[in-house]
Amino acid sequence: ASHTAAAATPTVVREALFRQAGITATRSILELVDTAALLHVQPLPAPRGAVAVVSNAGGIGILAADACADAGLLLPELPEIPELSGELQKLLPRGASVRNPVDTTAAVGPTELACCLEALERCPAVDALLVCLVPTALTTDPAHDPVRALLEGPGRRRIPIVAVLPDQEVPVRYLNGADGHPLPVYADTASAARALAHARDRARWLAEPAGEEADAPGCDARTARSLVNGFLATTPEGGWLDPVSTADLLESYGLPLTTSVWARDEHAAVVAAETLRPLGHDGRVVVKAYWPGQVHKSEAGAVRVGLRADSEIRSSYREFAAAFGTRMAGVVVQPMAAPGLELLAGVAQDRVFGPLVVLGMGGTATDVLDDRSARLAPLTEPDLTGMITELRGAPLLSGHHGAPPVDLAAVRSVLARLSRLATDLPELVEADLNPVIAGPAGAVCVDARVRLEPRPSFDPYLRRLRRPAVAEEA
């Protein structure tokens, strides 16, 4: 029912767990075999994962370059290294392109191709080689077939090498190099690129520092625990907290909630607005109708923002009362937050793996934007960085189109505190802070929902699985 829970589908939880535990997850059996074939026989690339594509025909080279881009691999521009492009130009037939993808033209012979691969292997800008060879009129002469460059060259090099031979009948197989070491050969460029991307991800994971748990000073675990126990004593089956208890619980962990004043009638709403106006942006307040169990307020017409005059407060209250009737328990009055970027931050508990922290582009357009990142708690400092930079909308946080950058320390603090809270309280099955309005001077949450359920503590062995492992050779 809440945005965080909707985002925390089993797939999101699994992907977060796999990424953190260093598991290579594939989406099909063929992708599994393709990837295993590479990891089994070739070294891992450097974590940067810069690929040089070499082909004897322009078309397949472009397809391979596109497949690399789709898989998130980097294709460095080779002309930036003048010695290398000079060397390649000397080696390769006239008309060859020495940019990346390198197009040797169909006129290339096995000897020139072998020298070209050696030059690229030595180049510090290149972390992996992807060689695509198509049959041409010239390859019918066995002496001239460029595939011989793979058979007569080493199968094991400084960097991983894979080949694509689109005319082969099986999706993936091994060719043995002159040293007897196998190199994987794929029928399809996308298979080769995806396998390389998995190898690059593995190298990145191994290179990641283990990372300390993110700091969240001043959390009051005792207050939070007694709030939870108190709620579950009166509501043993669990449920949503009311706005006041929600604020108490989140504030005990230093989460930045806006001031909310609860008003049961029209007069109380006007009085509340009076005290909150000076705190509001442009002297304005927000009024929201509240009833137990409500989910998306603005969708139901229960949110009025940017109110100033008493008459606006009164008419909003009356309209709410007319629309929602006796269902409405009262209204919540808040100061209007300064304009900023609306983010979603939340927690969801997975029955098996425990608490998951979610960050996303938020506000009322959350589902449309569908831009989220997730990690299993407890979060480390590198997790916080990863969650922020992984968002497609990440440039909006660092100041897009002249907008001032968002206070990232404030966003990190929200995530670190949610992680602590979810780790300390297994009963916190759902927390949804949407939006957290983030601006240059901090972040403030104007809408929070929390659901508690009786839950035993987490399985300590599953928590161990998530801890970053010691780096080792793949």
Q: Which residues bind Mg ion (CB under 5 A)?
A: 434, 447
Residue nearest to Mg ion (CB): 447
Instruction: Give the CA-trace dihedral at 211, 214, 217, 219, to 10 degrees.
Output: -130
- 45 contact, one of Mg ion, ligand ADP, none, CB 5-8 Å limit per kind: none
Give DSSP secondary structure letters for 190-252.
Answer: HHHHHHHHHHHHHHHHHHS---PBPP-TT--HHHHHHHHHHHHHH-TT-EEPPHHHHHHHHHH
Question: What amino acid is encoded at 371 in this protein?
Answer: D
> Shortest approach of Mg ion to residue 303 CB, angstroms?
8
Whichever of 297 and 463 has its CB closer to ligand ADP, that residue is 297
Strand spans (E) along 44-181: 51-55, 102-103, 128-132, 161-164, 172-176
- 208 contact, one of ligand ADP, Mg ion, none, CB 5-8 Å limit per kind: none
- 286 contact, one of ligand ADP, Mg ion, none, CB 5-8 Å limit per kind: ligand ADP
- 8 contact, one of ligand ADP, Mg ion, none, CB 5-8 Å limit per kind: none
Whichever of 99 and 297 has its CB closer to ligand ADP, that residue is 297
> Shortest approach of ligand ADP to residue 356 CB, angstroms?
20
- 355 contact, one of Mg ion, ligand ADP, none, CB 5-8 Å limit per kind: none
Give DSSP secondary structure letters for 119-159.
Answer: HHHH-TT-SEEEEE----GGGGSGGG-THHHHHHS-SS-SS
What is the distance in angstroms between the CA of the first residue and the CA of the last residue of the chain? 42
Instruction: Retrieve residue 469's tokens.
Output: 């492992």
> Shortest approach of ligand ADP to residue 332 CB, angstroms?
8
Whichever of 258 and 373 has its CB closer to ligand ADP, that residue is 258
Q: Is 402 exposed, middle or buried (CB count within 10 Å of its CB: 0-12, 13-18, 19+)?
A: exposed
Whichever of 34 and 447 has its CB closer to Mg ion, that residue is 447
Whichever of 427 and 447 has its CB closer to Mg ion, that residue is 447
> Shortest approach of ligand ADP to residue 338 CB, angstroms?
8
Whichever of 12 and 436 has its CB closer to ligand ADP, that residue is 436
- The residues that touch ligand ADP, with contacts defined as CB under 6 A, are 258, 286, 288, 296-299, 303, 305, 334, 336-337, 342, 363-364, 434-435, 446-447
User: By C-alpha distance, which of 93, 98, 65 is closest to 82?
Assistant: 98
